[in-house]
Amino acid sequence: MLDRPSPVIHLLKYLALCAYMVFLAFPMVWMLSTALKGPREVLSFHPTLIPHQPTLDNFRMAFGEQNLIQAALNSTQVSLATALFTVVIALPAAYALVRYQSVLRKIALGWILVSQVFPVILIIIPLFLILKGLHLLDSLPGLGVVYLVWSLPFVLWMLQTYVAAIPSELEEAAATDGAGRLRILFYVVMPLLVPGLLVAGLFAFISAWNEFFFALVVLQRPELSTLPLTLARFVGTEGNVRLGPLAAASLLATLPSLVFFAALQGRLTSGLLAGGVKG
């Protein structure tokens, strides 16, 4: 019979976990603290975590100077569309990579690995010319296409590992009962892939939500700006950063992705348990 860990070990584990949570949450707490400080307190040589004179002026300035709501809507549209279409395209492709062993599979896996180490700066000019030729330059759909292509290799790599973990005997049993490939994919494989689909969608969403460089190149009109582009406007032409309004705007820009993750967390956990039971 195995010995149970002592209470001291349990206490040390909980202390380590609490310390890790504090480490992860500290940037958010400091951002909130900065957003609630006045200009003098922000630039103080002796910064404090708790503001001496809390104020909401930074939030008023953030909303007054920049159209944060429109930028948030633009980012939400592009990010959700990227997550949805990336998963829809990657799912059957991942299934084909795992279940059909051929030379194309090795080529596809090699393309996935190469795409992850390819310098972004080298594709900017060809990307700009392609989007211009397709009349997708300076548009949210064009930016969504860029994010889709950029996120697809990694999402495909993630999903093919999930598909490989599903026993092929389940599909063989369904095929014996007369189910076709599409029916097997949607009614046998897909329910077991719920955790993987959620993780892949979350990755694509966060990548599109936080991306700056492609948006800077593709978008030109201010009304189409995403949140990262809007946040960059709080930096002056001479490099002077208005920390208060920037912290307030950054805090507001971070909240939607946290809410999205919190909303999916419960379904992700239930999907993992359901997948374990079905497997």
Confidence of residue 3 (pLDDT cuts 50, 70, 90): low
Return the higher-pLDDT residue of 276 and 134: 134
Domain 67-278 has CATH 3.40.630.30: no
Please say whether the dihedral angle defined by the alpha carbons of residues 107, 109, 113 and 115, taken in this order, is positive or negative: positive
pTM of the model: 0.80
Q: Are 97 and 107 in contact (CB under 8 A)?
A: no
Structural contact between residues 98 and 164, judged by C-beta atoms closer than 8 angstroms: yes
Q: Tokens at residue 145, please? A: 């296409």
On the question of pLDDT at 121 being above 90, the answer is no
Residue 241, judged by CB atoms within 10 A of its CB (0-12, 13-18, 19+), counts as exposed
Asked whether 83 and 205 are in contact (CB, 8 A), the reply is yes
Average per-residue pLDDT in the chain?
A: 81
What is the rounded distance in angstroms from the CA atom of residue 193 to the CA atom of residue 91? 9
Q: C-alpha dihedral over 128, 129, 131, 134, to 10 degrees?
A: 170
Q: pLDDT tens across 182-196, in order? A: 787 778 888 888 888
What's the whole-number mean pLDDT along residues 18-30? Answer: 84
What residues does CATH 1.10.3720.10 cover in the chain? 67-278
